[in-house]
Structures are given as structure tokens and as C-alpha cells.
């Protein structure tokens, strides 16, 4: 008999009866969406939990990214990383912006600040870095470059729920930060996302943009979109927030165990922990190097045969997809670190309810090749 399938992640589900209480309330109130009570409560609760001042909820992270670019009126070229989920660059194309791919830092797999300046042209208007796997970017170096060249910074913070840096929440950096609350994320609302805004005025603009541009019942002053989060999603977020610390603790335990078990395996390297900075343990990427007896893809398939569904996040690179290949900055020769990382990376299953016995099984498969 085959072992039970283990996926790269499993959504964190709080007790169902706690959610039912909220659903009954929705049935009673009959407000299903358009900024209802739970929407307002979740915005407030998230500001408190994350340590930020203004949040605008969205129906998913991708629409959040698209709207963030609209809010800042970004045009021309934007410098970004090829080592991310494709939604990062798609948000640029949907705004008619050319993505300019810049290589990543081998130790963090985030955009390498030392390579940014060489990619700036007269058309560059912004930088869109990603806090990949929840590891904070070098926010100070990026801001310094942005200030020097008068560029905006929009962080794709899809992986960075709850991540701290030396000066508090990493989400406070840049002009805007965009979170994803997709089912596969540390904190989820089934589908969902949010933009962290620096002030009330920007939040008001973004709130309008996500509601078709309505100022009031009869006034529309910008071409907005429908990016609203429903009451059901917001209610789920509120329930989940009550249990998020336990979920993060479960992830931390699993992360620690992997690190201990895999530390001396020849040819398997993993990223350093975030040190003093607080991580959220959202992924557990390993790099399968040439000294390991199998290639990354062979290991991926070998695990699959044993019903372990690890994932190659992020392979292929965004710059390798046909829709992006045409851009000059997509040339693999200019992206050696990202290319190597995408060929070596394998994200092992990591979630709060991952049983220790399954982790032991995964590690013994990796060790006993
Ligand atoms: N920026 C970055 C850096 C991102 O990583 C993402 C999304 C975005 C922007 C866009 O944010 P959103 O618009 O999505 O809010 C997944 C997610 O769909 C995507 O949200 C995520 N990043 C990306 C990294 O991963 P897939 O295609 O790999 O997901 P899928 O359906 O294969 O799920 C992976 C595993 O999770 C499944 O094998 C089983 C488990 N799973 C999944 C779902 C959906 C469940 O157990 N239950 C579920 O409901 O993209």
C-alpha cells in the first residue's frame, strides 16, 4: 500500500465551529461584501497583529499588485526579480510596464541590490523586489538606490506575513507592500491579499481603486477594478488570526527539525535562517547541488514515487516563460545566480500540522538515495 500523499503545503484550518459562528452572523446581517463589518474588523486586527498602520484588503495578492502599481501611477520600466511566482511580473505586464529582470543574491535568493543600478535607464520608474520565502530583502540598500534615482519601491510581500526586520515589520518598507492570503500561505483567507499603505490618504485612494473608482454613489474619478474581499473571506481571516501564533510555532518546529536532520547531508544546502530577524517559516527550500548523487529533478521524481509532492518553486524562472523571453533582460547569461538556483531548488513539505514521522520519512528518502 502506498503512503499517504504529502503535499508541499496544507492549509491551516482553524476549528470549524468558530467559523460557523461568523457565518451565522453573515446570514443574519445579510452583508456579504463591499466593506462590511468583518472586512473592517480584519483590516483593524491585521494592522494590530502586523504592527502597521493602514491596510486595504483584497480578493487576492495579484489584484493587489496590479492595483498598487496603478495607485502609484507606475509606467515605463520596473526592475524586478526573475526568481518569483509569475504573478510578480504579470502585474507589470497588466499595467503595460516592461519588467527588467535583475539577478538575485545567492545567499538570500532576493534581488541583489549591487546589480540594480546597472539596470536603471531613463524609463525606470520603480523597483519591485520580492521577500522570497519570507526572507527580508536588503530593504535599506534598496531604499538608498531608490532615493538616489527617485524611484518608487513596491514590495511583493506575498510570502512575508508577520516577518520582522531590525526596525519592526518588514511590511513598512518601500512605498507599498502587497501580501497574499492564498490557501497555500502562512495566513490564509482561502483567496485574499492586502496592500500595506503608509498613510490614510493612500489607503483611501487604494480603497477607491479596488471598488471600481467610486468616490460616492454617483462619482467615479479613476478607472478602478473589483478587488474587494468578501465577508466570508474576511470572517475566515478573523478566526484564523486567533490561532496564527500556534500555526507559526508549528512551522518553526518543523523548520528546526529539517535543519537538524539535513545538516550533514552531502550535496544538500539550505538557506540560512533569518538570524535576529523574525522569519515566518513559510517554505523550506533546499538546494540540490552537484555533489548530491541525484539531480534535483531526479530527487523530485523519486520523492513523488513515494507520494511526497515537493515543489520546484521557482522553476522555471519567470524570465524563461515564452511571454517574458523576448525582453532583453531575460537573457539567462545575465541571470546566472537565479538560473542556478531555479535548477537546484526543491521546496520540501512544510506546514504547521506536518507530522514529525512524515518529516523523518522525507529526510530518510533524501538521505538513503
Ligand atoms: N507573488 C508571489 C511571490 C507569490 O508567491 C504569489 C502566489 C503571488 C504573488 C500571487 O498571490 P495570489 O494572487 O495567489 O494571492 C501556488 C499559489 O496558487 C500561489 O498563491 C502562490 N504564490 C504560489 C507560490 O503557489 P500552485 O499552482 O503551486 O498551487 P497548487 O494548487 O499546486 O497548490 C500547492 C499544494 O498546496 C497542492 O499540491 C496541495 C496544497 N493545497 C493547495 C490548495 C490551493 C491544498 O492543500 N489546498 C488548497 O486549497 O500556486
**CB of 254 closer than 6 A to ligand 1?**
no
State whether the beta carbon of 233 lies less than 6 angstroms from ligand 1.
Answer: no
Q: Would residue 185 show up in a list of annotated catalytic residues for this protein? A: yes
Q: Tell whether the model's pLDDT for residue 325 goes beyond 90.
A: yes
The residue nearest atom 25 of ligand 1, judged by CA position, is 184
Residue 277 has pLDDT above 60, yes or no: no
Minimal-distance CA residue to ligand 1 atom 31: 184
Domains of the chain: 16-241 (3.40.640.10), 244-368 (3.90.1150.10)
Q: Please indicate whether residue 161, judged by its CB atom, sits closer than 6 Å to ligand 1.
A: no
Average pLDDT over residues 70-79: 98
Is the CB of 342 within 6 Å of ligand 1?
A: no
Q: Quote the DSSP letter at residue 3.
A: P
β-pair type (268-270, 152-156):
unpaired
Integer Cα distance of 117 and 101 in angstroms? 12
pLDDT at 167: 82
**CB of 10 closer than 6 angstroms to any ligand 1 atom:** yes
pLDDT tens digit sequence for 211-247: 999 999 999 999 999 999 999 999 999 999 999 999 9
State the helix-helix crossing angle for 244-262 and 356-367, rounded to 10 degrees: 30
pLDDT for the residue 276 = 47
Q: Would the CB of 190 count as within 6 Å of ligand 1?
A: no
Probe ligand 1: pick from 4, 111, 155, 182, max atoms within 8 Å of CB?
182
* Nearest Cα residue to atom 42 of ligand 1: 184
From residue 107, alpha-carbon distances to 137, 269, 270, 289 in Å are 11, 11, 9, 14
Pairwise pLDDT comparison (277 vs 55), residue with the higher score: 55
Say if ligand 1 is within 6 A of residue 85 CB: yes
Per residue in 132-148, pLDDT (tens digit) is: 999 999 999 999 999 99
- At residue 251, the pLDDT reads 95
Average pLDDT over residues 341-350: 98
Residue-level pLDDT at 112: 98
Please state, rounded to an integer, the average pLDDT across all residues of the chain: 96
The model carries a pTM of 0.97
What local confidence, expressed as pLDDT, does residue 59 receive? 98
Residue 274's pLDDT band, with cuts at 50, 70 and 90, is low
Mean pLDDT confidence for 22-34: 97
Q: Ligand 1: which atom is nearest the Cα of residue 193?
A: 15
What is the pLDDT averaged over residues 82-111? 98
**In the 8-state DSSP scheme, what is residue 101?**
E
Query: pLDDT above 90 covers what percent of the chain?
Result: 94
Residue 262 sits at the vertex; the CA angle it makes with 259 and 263, to the nearest 5 degrees, is 75
Index of the ligand 1 atom closest to the CA of residue 84: 3
Residue of 24, 75, 172, 185 marked catalytic: 185
Measure 232 CA to ligand 1 centroid, in angstroms.
Answer: 20
Task: Name the residue among 148, 145, 153, 142 with its Cα closest to residue 108.
Answer: 142
What pLDDT, on a 0 to 100 scale, did the predictor assign at position 272? Answer: 80
Q: Is 364 exposed, middle or buried (0-12, 13-18, 19+ CB in 10 A)?
A: exposed
Amino acid at each position: 500500500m502506498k503512503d499517504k500523499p504529502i503535499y508541499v503545503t496544507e492549509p491551516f484550518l482553524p476549528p470549524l465551529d468558530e467559523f460557523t459562528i461568523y457565518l451565522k452572523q453573515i446570514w443574519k446581517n445579510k452583508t456579504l461584501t463591499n466593506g462590511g463589518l468583518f472586512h473592517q474588523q480584519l483590516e483593524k486586527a491585521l494592522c494590530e497583529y502586523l504592527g502597521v498602520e493602514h491596510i486595504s484588503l483584497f480578493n487576492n495578492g495579484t489584484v493587489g499588485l496590479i492595483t498598487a502599481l496603478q495607485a502609484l501611477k507606475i509606467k515605463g520600466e520596473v526592475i524586478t526579480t526573475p526568481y518569483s511566482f509569475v504573478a510578480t511580473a504579470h502585474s507589470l505586464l497588466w499595467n503595460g510596464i516592461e519588467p527588467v529582470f535583475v539577478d538575485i543574491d545567492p545567499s538570500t535568493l532576493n534581488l541583489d541590490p549591487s546589480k540594480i543600478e546597472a539596470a536603471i535607464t531613463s524609463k525606470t520608474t520603480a523597483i519591485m523586489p520580492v521577500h522570497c520565502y519570507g526572507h527580508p530583502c536588503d530593504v535599506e540598500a534598496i531604499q538608498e538606490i531608490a532615493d538616489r534615482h527617485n524611484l518608487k519601491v513596491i514590495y511583493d510581500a506575498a510570502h512575508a506575513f508577520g516577518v520582522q526586520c531590525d526596525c519592526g515589520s518588514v511590511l513598512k518598507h518601500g512605498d507599498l507592500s502587497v501580501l497574499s492570503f492564498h490557501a497555500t500561505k502562512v495566513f490564509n483567507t482561502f483567496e485574499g491579499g492586502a496592500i500595506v499603505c503608509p498613510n490614510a490618504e493612500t489607503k483611501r485612494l487604494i480603497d477607491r481603486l479596488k471598488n471600481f473608482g467610486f468616490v460616492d454613489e454617483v462619482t467615479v474619478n479613476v478607472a478602478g477594478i473589483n478587488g474587494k474581499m468578501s465577508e466570508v473571506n474576511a470572517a475566515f481571516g478573523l478566526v484564523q488570526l486567533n490561532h496564527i501564533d500556534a500555526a507559526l510555532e508549528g512551522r518553526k518546529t518543523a523548520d528546526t527539525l529539517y535543519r537538524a536532520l539535513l545538516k550533514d547531508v552531502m550535496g544538500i544546502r539550505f538557506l540560512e535562517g533569518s538570524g535576529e530577524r523574525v522569519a515566518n517559516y513559510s517554505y523550506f527550500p533546499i538546494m540540490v547541488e552537484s555533489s548530491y548523487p541525484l539531480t534535483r529533478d531526479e530527487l523530485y521524481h523519486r520523492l513523488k514515487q513515494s507520494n511526497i509532492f515537493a515543489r520546484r518553486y521557482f522553476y522555471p524562472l519567470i524570465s524563461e516563460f515564452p511571454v517574458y523571453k523576448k525582453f532583453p533582460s531575460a537573457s539567462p547569461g545575465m541571470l546566472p545566480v537565479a538560473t542556478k538556483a531555479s535548477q537546484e531548488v526543491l521546496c520540501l513539505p512544510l506546514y504547521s500540522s506536518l507530522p514529525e514521522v512524515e518529516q523523518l520519512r522525507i529526510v530518510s528518502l533524501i538521505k538513503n538515495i
